[in-house]
Homo-oligomer: A and B are copies of this chain.
Amino acid sequence: MNRENTNQTSDEFVVTPWEVRGKVDYEKLMEQFGTEPIDQPLLERIEKHTGELHFMLRRGTFFTHRDMNFILDEWEKGNKYHLYTGRGPSEQIHIGHLVPWVFTKWLQDKFNVKFIFQLTDDEKFVFYEDLDLDDTHSYAIENALDVIALGFDHKKTEIIIDTDNAKTFYRIALPIAKKITFSTVKSSFGFDNSTNIGSIFYTSIQAVPAVLESVRQGKNVPCLIPHAIDQDPHFRLARDVLPRLGYYKPASIQCSFLPALGGPQGKMSASDPTQTVYVTDTPQTVKKKITKYAFSGGQMSVAEHRKKGGNPDIDVSFQWLKILFEPNDKKLDKLEEDYRNGDLLTGELKAILIDKINNFLENHRAEREKARDRLDQYLIQD
């Protein structure tokens, strides 16, 4: 299937819901997708409600949005929004997947709102030739554990697995599907005549969680979708269609990708173990991966590094600390400064990151196993 003809903004990079390739120019992408930058006035407006700004906002990891002001307008009128994000289940969750989920958890805590998490086992199945539905369903269950492990409150959180919740979802997807033509999905996703009809239909299923609360409550409930920017084509389409069915446009707040270990060439792939750290990796594996593969912004020799200093902007270890593992600004600034002036060596920076990741993952894996017994509290029953 030719997925490149619409989401390729230049010869240098490609961003579609199924593929990210090349060094992403986020400014260009924002312009191409038509999203708004998160500017200072918006940050201040958010802070007014949250009391502080999450480091992913402070540091621009969440950098663009659609209709955040609408969400806050409604909020100020007493009209609560709900959160929605999701994942095409994969055999393993890597730490890049956690970025929007960690941020969503923060939003849920600060605003005390409902959160719907969609596991699209149907999508994964129809788009990937070699996967069967038992695979994608078991991935969904395993991935759900990673979501729960982050600490979402089950009283405010629902996890949907598309094939398990098809009774609810199919009925709500049909009116959405009725308003979307093949022309539209062709241009939104780069489909062609060889695309299978499951893939063609699928986007209507991804739109459902955005209106699920409205359907249940029988009134319009605003929806905010925190997500990585590659999913924008689905929600852009949903924003076009849902108002024609009487719903609000879903709003979104979008992040960039955690760079792959090999360097800031787009998003890490779940299928290349040398480019990512899985949540199930042992401390030894994490150490080996970071030591061996994490792209360094340092110099060729210690002497040269002491003299010229390193470049944290391209150093993957620093970027991972900035994006996910070092929430403390002072500590991060110190690392940046020390690295830039050569006081901190790449090996030392890597050791700090390895330690942070392993601490995080030790806790995550423990929570993940505890979550197994609590799955039923989160999964919705059709």
- The tally of residues in A whose CB lies under 8 Å from a CB in B reads 39
Check B186 against A197 for contact (C-beta < 8 Å): no
Query: Looking at the complex, which of A91-99, A198-206, A293-301 is the stretch in contact with chain B?
Result: A198-206
* A interface, over-half SS: helix
Residues of B within 8 A of A185 (CB): 197
Contact of A178 among B167, B183, B191, B198 (CB under 8 A): B198
Check A197 against B204 for contact (C-beta < 8 Å): yes
Check A177 against B126 for contact (C-beta < 8 Å): yes
Per-position binary interface string of chain A over residues 87-110, scored 1 when its CB falls under 8 Å from any chain B CB and 0 otherwise: 000000000000000000000000
The residues in A between 176 and 223 inclusive whose CB is less than 8 angstroms from any CB of B are 177-183, 185-186, 191-201, 203-204
The residues in A between 210 and 246 inclusive whose CB is less than 8 angstroms from any CB of B are none
Closest-by-CB residue of B relative to A201 is: B201
Please give the distance in Å from A262's CB to the nearest CB on chain B: 32
Check B167 against A382 for contact (C-beta < 8 Å): yes
**Chain copies in complex:** 2
Whether, in the assembled complex, A43 has its beta carbon less than 8 Å from a beta carbon of chain B, the answer is: no
Check B177 against A166 for contact (C-beta < 8 Å): no
Check B201 against A193 for contact (C-beta < 8 Å): no
The residues in A between 109 and 161 inclusive whose CB is less than 8 angstroms from any CB of B are 122, 125-126, 132-133
Residues of B within 8 A of A199 (CB): 178
Check A174 against B204 for contact (C-beta < 8 Å): no
Check B193 against A181 for contact (C-beta < 8 Å): yes
Contact of A170 among B170, B177, B179 (CB under 8 A): B170
Whether, in the assembled complex, A175 has its beta carbon less than 8 Å from a beta carbon of chain B, the answer is: yes
Residues of B within 8 A of A132 (CB): 175
Residues of B within 8 A of A194 (CB): 181-183
| Sample of 17 A–B contacts (CB below 8 Å) | A122-B170, A125-B175, A126-B174, A163-B171, A163-B174, A165-B167, A166-B169, A170-B170, A174-B198, A177-B196, A181-B193, A181-B197, A182-B182, A182-B196, A182-B197, A197-B200, A382-B382
